[in-house]
Amino acid sequence: MKAKTVSSASSVYKMMNQLPRAEELGNSLFLVVDSYFRNKPVMKNWISRLEKSAEVVVYWVQAGEELKNLTRFADHVLRIQKLLGPKFGKNFCIVGVGGGSVGDFSGFLASVYKRGVPHVQIPSTLLAAIDSAHGGKNGLNVGGVKNQIGTIYPPRRVLIVKELFKNHNPDRCLEAYGELYKMAWIQGGELWNSLNQMKRIDLESMWVGLPQAIAAKYKVVKKDPRNFRTSSYFEFRPHDGACFRKLLSFASWLGCFGGNGFCFFL
Ligand SMILES: NC(=O)c1ccc[n+]([C@@H]2O[C@H](COP(=O)([O-])OP(=O)(O)OC[C@H]3O[C@@H](n4cnc5c(N)ncnc54)[C@H](O)[C@@H]3O)[C@@H](O)[C@H]2O)c1
């Protein structure tokens, strides 16, 4: 399958400081939002701003693997049908705001609801901003096994919004750094060099590294949209061990060696 939609990565994704205005999204918006943000002023303010110039329906979801449970999907669709009623027709855009689980759920929903409606991803974890929000791969879990049912449905746009990452705790940053490191290992070159120059693992440094990481992701997606062969790119490269040592020291410092981030990276 050819990944036509990623021929120009920069037109697909955009980095911005604040959540987008309605004009960037459309007149009829179905927002699938991680309930982590339910009482956060940033989300409340954004939704009220959108409501001033667009028809907006919000569907709050609990992030995590249960959201991706296929057996629950029909219940979600029934609730969504009731929420949307007849007013939206087929001319609306599904905007997923959250980490990878919300991205997978909203992407899958967009790909099958009314046989497909436009999808915009607004990743709220750095991990999703680097990886899962791009390329259109989505998956639901079946019988506890991850990503057994899914589609490849590239989002119209991926909007990476800095203000959403402000409350990331250090181990989430480390997780994202793990992904960045993996990509740098695969890619070498400029990404690898800038990772070596990274002095700290925090939002500011990750923000600077994001465009290169995303470019690396689109390169892989372009070669292999279904990511079947990704593991074959992940071979040992004879770079110096500075990044690896840095990752080890940060992981031990945070006491999460063997925890989420590091296991994920491996
Ligand atoms: N489709 C793909 O290509 C792809 C690639 C990699 C991973 N994934 C999927 O992504 C999922 C993991 O995604 P994830 O780790 O990005 O997040 P997630 O959606 O699983 O969320 C993890 C936690 O972070 C919280 N959270 C979200 N945004 C936050 C923020 N800004 N500040 C603080 N907490 C926040 C959520 O509420 C949740 O508790 C898995 O289901 C995995 O299968 C998909």
- On whether both 129 and 26 belong to a single domain, the answer is yes
Any residues with CB less than 8 A from the CB of 10 and at least 6 apart, and which?
Answer: none
Which of 115, 130, 165 is the C-terminal boundary of a domain? Answer: 165
- 36 pocket-lining for ligand 1 (C-beta < 6 Å): yes
What pLDDT is recorded for position 200? 84
- On whether both 87 and 181 belong to a single domain, the answer is no
Domain carrying residue 188: 170-265
- On whether both 251 and 237 belong to a single domain, the answer is yes
Q: How far apart are CA 147 and CA 65, in angstroms?
A: 10
Which of 110, 134, 165 is the C-terminal boundary of a domain? Answer: 165
> To test the ligand 1 pocket, which listed residue (124, 140, 166) has its Cβ within 8 A of the most ligand atoms?
124
- On whether both 38 and 139 belong to a single domain, the answer is yes
- 164 pocket-lining for ligand 1 (C-beta < 6 Å): yes
Tell how strand 145-149 and strand 157-161 pair up. Answer: unpaired
- On whether both 148 and 249 belong to a single domain, the answer is no
- On whether both 71 and 106 belong to a single domain, the answer is yes
- pTM attached to this predicted model: 0.86
- 138 pocket-lining for ligand 1 (C-beta < 6 Å): yes
Note the Cα 224 to chain centre separation in Å: 18
> To test the ligand 1 pocket, which listed residue (132, 168, 169) has its Cβ within 8 A of the most ligand atoms?
132
Residue 199's SS3 state is coil
Q: How far apart are CA 12 and CA 4, in angstroms?
A: 11
- Tell me the CA distances in angstroms from 172 to 99, 167, 169, 240, 255, one per residue in order: 11, 10, 6, 25, 13
- 98 pocket-lining for ligand 1 (C-beta < 6 Å): yes
- pLDDT tens string, the chain, 266 residues long: the values are 444 444 466 679 999 999 999 999 999 999 999 999 999 999 999 999 999 999 999 999 999 999 999 999 999 999 999 999 887 888 899 999 999 999 999 999 999 999 999 999 999 999 999 999 999 999 999 999 999 999 999 999 999 999 999 888 888 888 888 888 888 887 777 888 888 888 888 888 889 889 988 988 888 888 877 765 444 344 334 444 555 555 554 554 454 444 444 434 43
- For tokens 């296929």, name the residue: 70
What pLDDT is recorded for position 82? 95
Q: Could you tell me the distance, in angstroms and rounded to a whole number, from the CA of residue 26 to the centre of ligand 1?
A: 25
Specify the long-range contacts of residues 140-148, CB closer than 8 Å, at least 24 apart.
Answer: 140/68, 140/69, 140/70, 140/73, 140/104, 140/105, 140/108, 141/65, 141/68, 141/69, 141/70, 142/70, 146/65, 146/68, 147/68, 147/104, 148/70
- On whether both 178 and 160 belong to a single domain, the answer is no
What pLDDT is recorded for position 245? 53
Which of 145, 165, 185 is the C-terminal boundary of a domain? Answer: 165
Query: How many structural domains is the chain composed of?
Result: 2
Which CATH number is 127's domain given? Answer: 3.40.50.1970
Residue 162's SS3 state is helix
- 179 pocket-lining for ligand 1 (C-beta < 6 Å): no
- On whether both 133 and 77 belong to a single domain, the answer is yes
- 102 pocket-lining for ligand 1 (C-beta < 6 Å): yes
- 175 pocket-lining for ligand 1 (C-beta < 6 Å): no
- On whether both 58 and 157 belong to a single domain, the answer is yes
Atom of ligand 1 nearest to the CA of 35: 37
